[in-house]
Amino acid sequence: MKPPLNVAFRRSQVKMGAVLYARMVEMMLHGTFSCAEIAEETGLHYVTVLQYARELYRAGACHIAHWEKDKRGRDITKIYKIGKAKDAPRQRMTKAERTARYRDKKRAIRDVNLLGVAA
């Protein structure tokens, strides 16, 4: 019996073993990889990596080294690093900053519409 043609395109999920756990911890030592990047590199499922990273954090074995911003500029993705240290602060906008940004955006849209330029 021949395997289906799309087998090469499937991504197989790997169980957490000692080798993969060691690779995950080694990547976290550098502190430059998000959980999604660790999952991609090791072949583990994203949720598995996230659960292990959270448990390491709860146990005090790692800390939040810094935050990655999303497309709106908010600190969303935690970057964990092995070792004991103080967590990186999460930057938040004040209500005045959010309001000013909203008004600037509305003003820019109005100006584009007045000029008749396609956005």
Residues 65-83 have a mean pLDDT of: 89
pLDDT band at 44 (very low <50, low <70, confident <90, very high): confident
Tokens of 53: 């990273």
Of 63, 92, 93, the closest CA to residue 78 belongs to 63
Q: 5-91: which CATH architecture?
A: Orthogonal Bundle (1.10)
Residues of the chain above pLDDT 70, percent: 84
- Check residue 13 and give its pLDDT: 60
Q: Residue 19, exposed/middle/buried by CB under 10 A (0-12, 13-18, 19+)? A: exposed
Q: Chain centroid to CA 65: how far?
A: 12
Question: What pLDDT shows up at residue 71?
Answer: 83
Encode pLDDT of 80-97 as tens digits: 999 999 999 998 888 898
From the list 41, 24, 16, 23, the residue with the least C-alpha distance to 80 is 24
For residue 68, the one-letter residue type is E
The pair of three-digit structure tokens given for residue 103, joined into one six-digit string: 């008004």
Contact in structure between 5 and 25 (CB atoms under 8 Å)? no
Instruction: Give the number of other CB atoms < 10 A from CB of residue 53.
Output: 21
User: Domain spans of the chain?
Assistant: 5-91
How large is the C-alpha radius of gyration of the chain?
21
